Structure 1
Amino acid sequence: MHISIYILSLSIFAMTTSEFMVAGMLPSISSTLNVSVPMAGFLVSIFAASIVVGGPILTVFLFKFRQKSALIFLMILFSISQIIGAIADSYSTMVVSRVLGGIAESAFFGVAISIAVGMVASDNQGRAASLVLAGIMIASVVGLPMATQIDHSFGWRYSFWIVAILTLICTIVVMFSVPQSPKPQNMSVKKELSTLKNKHLWAAYCTSGLIIGATFSAFTFFAPIFTEVAKIEASSLPILFAAYGVATVMGNLIVGRFADRYAMNIMVIGLTALAVVMVLMALNITNVMFAMSCAIVIGFVGLPMNPAMVTRVMRVSNNGSLVNSLHMSIINLGIVLGSWFSGVLVQANYGWTSPLWFGALLAVLGLLSLLPYLQKNKLVLEMES
């Protein structure tokens, strides 16, 4: 594998770490910027909302440019967003940082994967794509707990500086290592738009949004839930997030192995587990070991449903750029709804466990969205057998 592929993976690691790390720094950021913890939690929603709205628009715009040039532009834009975050002295400035970062990250994903698969032979393209996306999983295992530890040891601003510097280093390497891209080809937007008339595709999108919304409803507020209600020391949060990340990686490996054949079954089991575990966690939040075990289970069954979600979308539609880009937008819309409305519930004095109850509700809705398709899926499996 070309060294550039690993650099792209490292870049995605840095970007995903930035996306998630605010969840582990909510008390520190809220204190520094003089806002409530739920208001600080909205920064997670704002980043995701930027991906939803700005990402697809910027992706279409960048089709006019060579892929390498677009890649470098996006990496520099993301670095600038992190520098703004590092020096932010007000909530509005931090919002600007999150908006720019979300837009840049969303467009970067598609361009990076396209460049990676274009640098290898056809029989290695799947491996190249998986290596690039491995940065997401590594961010949950290494980046998030590392950023949380840096916050407690040196302050949250250092995490933003480190991400900015790491992204700039990757940008320099990309400038000299990635081959020059061919001139861009015309994109048939009309043809891609016609695929969006498929009602089954929108049903799949809906389920994906509810799955991720349920997961992030709880995950976004893990830090205050455990420090304010479960009464654990803030210094223990990096350990919790590391365990959550390891569970996510393990779950992803397992789901990835069976997603092609059992996509619907995986989502049914995963959503049922999410709903049950979140309810149990809310009811037993003062039992620290039990609550932490529930958080780890959420990591094991939540995000790892992603391969099953992608498989379902590809089966009901195609693997076109617009379909995948919109799927990513819907997923991040789920993050927005989950984290935003959970913050609203906390601000309305429904308590720190309200994000868990709301997450359970979204999981149940996701399960209901699958019911019309379960019998059809059963018939398909019988025919394949």
Structure 2
Amino acid sequence: MPLAVFVLGLSIFALGTSEFMITGLLPGMAADLGVSIPDAGLLISAFAVGMVVGAPLLAVGTLRLPRRVTLLALLVVFGLAHVVGAVAGNYGLLFATRVVSALACAGFWAVAASTTVSLVPTARRGRALAVLVGGLTVANIAGVPAGTVLGQHAGWRSAFWAVAALTVVAAAGVLALVPRTTSTAPARVRAELRVFRNGRLWLALGVIALLQAMVFATFSYLAPLLVSVDGLSESGVPVVLALFGGGALVGIVAGGKLADAHPFATLYGSLALAVAALVTLAATDNAVVAVIAVLVLGAAGFAANPALNIRAYTIAGGTPTLVGASTTSAFNVGNTVGPWLGGTTIAAGLGFASVAWVSVVLGALAVAALTVSLHLHRRTEVPAQVPESQPV
């Protein structure tokens, strides 16, 4: 495996740590900036909005640009946004830096994926992309808890400085190890856009958004939920976030093995386990039970991701570029809507446990949308021709 692929995975680790570390920093950020925890939670949504907008636009806009130059430019923008965020004296400026960071992150994802597959033979593309996406998983296991510990002991701004430093390391690696490559394929924007006439694709993207919103309506407020409702100590929050990340890793591995042959069964099973965990979180005030539920939520929520992507790419057929960017956008629509809905119920005085009930409702909507998708699949797909997409 080329070292450049691992460098790109390291870069995704830095980007992913930034995207999700706000969860563990919310109480300190809210207190320092003089805003409520729901308002601080909107910083997560700000990042997601930037990803939603940036992914499809930059996927098209960077098709013909030199990849290494583009990767470096996006890392520079990302790093500078974190420097500004680390010294931001008010909530508005910090909010703006999160949007800018997300735009750079979205563009980097698009270019890094195309660069990764160009660096390896066709038979090794899956493994190479696994290294790339593995950076995000490791961010959840190690980067987010580390950022939380750093924030608790040295202030939330120190976590932003740490991400900026990681970005410098990633940029140096890209400069040294990523070869000068360009996109040789012509930009087939019209062909890519035609697939969006298919209503089944929009339904698949809707399921992605609902399932992601289900997870992040609760995940975004885990720290105050576990501390205020379940009696967990603040020092225990990083450990629980690491458990969530560990569950996510197990879920991705298991979901990846099941999704090719049984995408719908994988999705229904993941949703069932996630909803059960969320009901438990909403109903319990026992820290041990809550921690177990968080572990299950991480595993179940991320186990669905491979199947969600498979459904979208199966419908896309031979036009994957914009669909890939659109799945990124759909995931981040969920990242935006989920924390906003959870914050709304907290602001309404319903308590931190209410976010889990919000997630349960979103999970029920995801099941309904998935059922419609399965019905259309059975009407339009021929199982004998596409065995990897057979519902069971």
User: TM-score when scaled to structure 2?
Assistant: 0.94
The superposition leaves residues 355-377 of structure 1 with CA deviations (integer Å, 9 ceiling, x where unpaired) of 10010000000001122344566
TM-superposed CA distance for 1:117, in Å, is 1.5
Partner of 2:74: 74
Query: Residue 261 of structure 1 aligns to a residue in which SS?
Result: coil
The number of aligned residues is: 384
Partner of 1:146: 146
The superposition leaves residues 29-85 of structure 1 with CA deviations (integer Å, 9 ceiling, x where unpaired) of 001111111110110011001111133223322234211111111111111111111
What amino acid is aligned across from residue 250 of structure 2 in structure 1?
Answer: M
TM alignment of 1:189-200, pairs within 5 A: 189-200=189-200
Partner of 1:325: 325
Q: How many Å separate the matches in 2 of 1:312 and 1:105? A: 24
Partner of 1:22: 22
TM alignment of 1:257-272, pairs within 5 A: 257-272=257-272
Structure 2: gaps of 5 or more residues: none
Q: How many Å separate the matches in 2 of 1:374 and 1:62? A: 35
CA contact (8 A) 1:84 1:97 kept: yes
TM-superposed CA distance for 1:378, in Å, is 6.9
Q: How many Å separate the matches in 2 of 1:82 and 1:65? A: 25
Moved more, 177-186 or 158-167: 177-186
CA contact (8 A) 1:67 1:184 kept: no
Partner of 1:274: 274
TM-superposed CA distance for 1:304, in Å, is 2.4
What amino acid is aligned across from residue 251 of structure 2 in structure 1?
Answer: G
Moved more, 62-71 or 18-27: 62-71
What amino acid is aligned across from residue 329 of structure 1 in structure 2?
Answer: S
CA contact (8 A) 2:62 2:111 kept: no
Query: Residue 180 of structure 1 aligns to a residue in which SS?
Result: coil
What amino acid is aligned across from residue 205 of structure 1 in structure 2?
Answer: L
Q: How many Å separate the matches in 2 of 1:222 and 1:295? A: 9
Q: How many Å separate the matches in 2 of 1:372 and 1:170? A: 43
Partner of 1:222: 222
Partner of 1:56: 56
TM alignment of 1:84-99, pairs within 5 A: 84-99=84-99
Q: How many Å separate the matches in 1 of 2:22 and 2:45? A: 11
Partner of 1:232: 232
Partner of 2:306: 307
Partner of 2:334: 334
Is residue 118 of structure 2 the alignment partner of residue 104 of structure 1?
Answer: no
CA contact (8 A) 2:148 2:238 kept: yes
Is residue 241 of structure 2 the alignment partner of residue 241 of structure 1?
Answer: yes
Q: How many Å separate the matches in 1 of 2:179 and 2:287? A: 52
What amino acid is aligned across from residue 307 of structure 2 in structure 1?
Answer: A
Give percent identity, aligned residues only: 30
Structure 1: gaps of 5 or more residues: none
TM-superposed CA distance for 1:275, in Å, is 1.9
Partner of 1:291: 290
Q: State the superposition RMSD in angstroms.
A: 1.7
Q: How many Å separate the matches in 2 of 1:299 and 1:345? A: 22
TM alignment of 1:128-147, pairs within 5 A: 128-147=128-147
TM-superposed CA distance for 1:176, in Å, is 2.2
User: TM-score when scaled to structure 1?
Assistant: 0.96
The superposition leaves residues 157-185 of structure 1 with CA deviations (integer Å, 9 ceiling, x where unpaired) of 11111111111121122112211113665
CA contact (8 A) 1:43 1:95 kept: yes
